[in-house]
Structure 1
Amino acid sequence: MENYIELLKLILPELIVEHFDLVSTKIEQEKMHLFFEEKNTPPKEFNNRQLVSKGFLNEITIQDFPLRGKLVYLYIKRRRWTDKESQAIIQRDWNIIAQGTRVTQEFADFLKEIMNTIKINYDSILNYFDNRSTNASAESFNAKIKAFRNQFRGVRKVDFFLFRLTKLFA
């Protein structure tokens, strides 16, 4: 069972693995649905009170990293407790989703990183679509140089090697 938990920690957000039980799964062609319920362990800050579990709050749906080509949806039921003395309803405020989204914080950070990569390489990406220009010719030339160098099992004199390259490929 411990190996199962450690594996889940690699795949799912650690907060969910530690504080929620996986109660059911449903796998469709392109989607994986994982259903979680919060464990019946009251918040530590209320240890001195007598709390009674009173069911769950409304289920929330969160999209997480895709796994094996399938979209992953986490359905989470958060538990609520009632204080026997004051009849106050107590619940945890988990910070599972990124603010203003329906995706996990880790997934949102990953998407932001991809967005930044696209911003940095924007001109190079557009260059391909505008001019159909790639670095394939440079890669091809590098492959020819490697093959030429391997043919002679290395290079002893760099000047002579460069001279031969210019005569053959220029």
Structure 2
Amino acid sequence: MTATATSRVHTTVLSPIGPLTLVATDGILSGLYMDAQRHAPDEATFGPRDHGPFGDVELQLAEYFAGDRTDFDVPLRLEGTEFQRRVWTALREVPYGRTWSYGQLADHIGSPGASRAVGLANGRNPIAIIVPCHRVVGADGKLTGYGGGLERKQQLLDLERDGSDRLF
């Protein structure tokens, strides 16, 4: 293997919102996909099954779904364009239990007026839940597209809202 070659492995774990496929590139989480997620890459790119590098990710996801974790601290490998990575990094700043509109997120990254581009980047988020794209809603506060489906988006928002006074 050359110095630039990468090694990918994956595993599937169960969650309250269905099976989640975790993908690691060189031992770092690079994908978290829901069953039948829109824009998920071809499973052939996930590499062989290997449960090894995912212990901490699984623990933190279990704590999140139990309501005991509001923030994740696992290392991430976000692979995308510079603009996509800016959006995905900013998503991690949306507070637990709150939502931002696409316009607010565009303003936050210094690109006012780029709400459509932010929405496209949001839809291509490779690490669902941990990079909380489910916390982004339409300008009117209504749920809009979500790669895992609007029902799952609502489930995640409901999970986070429990114990929180307000959603917006």
Task: Determine if the TM-score, normalized by the shorter chain, exceeds 0.5.
Answer: no
Structure scoring higher RCO (CA < 8 A, sep ≥ 6) equals 2
TM-score, normalised by the number of residues in structure 2:
0.22
Larger Rg: 1
More strand by share: 1
TM-score, normalised by the number of residues in structure 1:
0.22
